[in-house]
Amino acid sequence: MPWPVTSSRVAYENRWIRVIEDRVLTPDGRPGLFGVIEVRQPAVFVVALTDAEEVLLVEIDRHTVGPSWEVPAGGTDGEEPLVAARRELLEETGFVASSWTPIGRMEALNGVSRAPEIVFLATGLRRSAGDSTAEPHEVGDDVRAVAGTVRSTGGDVRSAGGDIRSTGDDVRAAGDEVRSTGDDVRAAGDDVRSTGDDVRATGDDVRAAGDEVRSVAFETRHADDPSDAGDAGEATDDAEIGIPPAPGALEEGISSVRAVPFTTVLSMVADGTIRDGETVAAVLYAALHLGRVR
């Protein structure tokens, strides 16, 4: 053993961690002191991938670092890792998955801690029948509206490229204008009709509060069309999907859940938007497993 322990004591412990103070001999033979954080239970991380190649991310307010974009994760609490992974996905997002694949193992902060972690890829996603925030549809079954904030200019709201796409059916708003009456435009189960095509907001409200139109749909998307991208204000080519957080998620500090295109998630890692180390590693494991990087 390169670091022989001459004595050891527990300096602090709670239900989640234990801090151990080891007196050691360093590799060159000198006496030293080493503090080790021991996580009581292994943790699981879930890269949940929709049929439309989006990753479910949660925005969580961490006591240590503040707001953070992460994949669903948590301790195993004495459970088998797969059982814990299923539970964490459901608790944090309200989704269940039909297919689970272990894609990696890692140790967090192994210079100062013992914290084993297991990464799973979850596919075949759908809303849990027991989730009261949305009906149990398959991901992608609902009509998608632009999830990002679309700013109206002169009261006209245009979709980027004029396309609002649903998985399975393309609903096209061919450059038509949705005009707000006052400040609020509400489609509460009504039909919003474009020339030649019907855009149906099934039971959802589309609100234009001031100059911002935010979708509150179960899932949202818009199509790429570089020729008309300027009409969409600040909407991006890779639209994020807004999903209501699962019941109880707020107790863990989760303020929102997003389904983000996989390529956008990789960009969020590259530009530092995603800073959580375990999420970065989990996304990389998924990218390697899916052949996105070599």
Q: How far is CA 211 from CA 22, 40, 215, in A?
A: 60, 50, 13
In this model, does residue 63 exceed pLDDT 70?
Answer: yes
Per-residue pLDDT reduced to its tens digit, 65-90: 999 999 999 999 999 999 999 999 99
The full 3-state SS of 155-167, as one line of letters, equals CEECCHHHEEECC
Per-residue pLDDT reduced to its tens digit, 231-264: 323 333 445 667 777 766 776 789 999 999 999 9
Residues of the chain above pLDDT 70, percent? 60
Question: What is the Cα–Cα distance from 202 to 281, expressed in whole angstroms?
Answer: 38
Q: Any idea where the domains of the chain sit in the sequence? A: 5-39, 43-134+244-289, 150-241
Question: What is the Cα–Cα distance from 38 to 42, expressed in whole angstroms?
Answer: 10
pLDDT at 98: 98
The fourth-level CATH superfamily of domain 43-134+244-289 is Nucleoside Triphosphate Pyrophosphohydrolase (3.90.79.10)
pLDDT at 239: 53
The answer, as to whether pTM is greater than 0.75, is: no
Among 17-21, 37-41, 224-228, 278-282, which stretch is predicted with the lowest mean pLDDT? 224-228
The set of residues, in sequence order, having a beta carbon less than 8 Å from that of 72 and lying 6+ positions away, is: 45, 46, 48, 56, 58, 88, 89, 91, 92, 93
Among 3-17, 114-128, 243-257, 259-273, which stretch is predicted with the lowest mean pLDDT? 243-257
Question: What is the Cα–Cα distance from 219 to 247, expressed in whole angstroms?
Answer: 18
**Beta strand extents in 14-83 (DSSP E only):** 17-25, 31-39, 43-48, 54-62, 66-70, 73-75
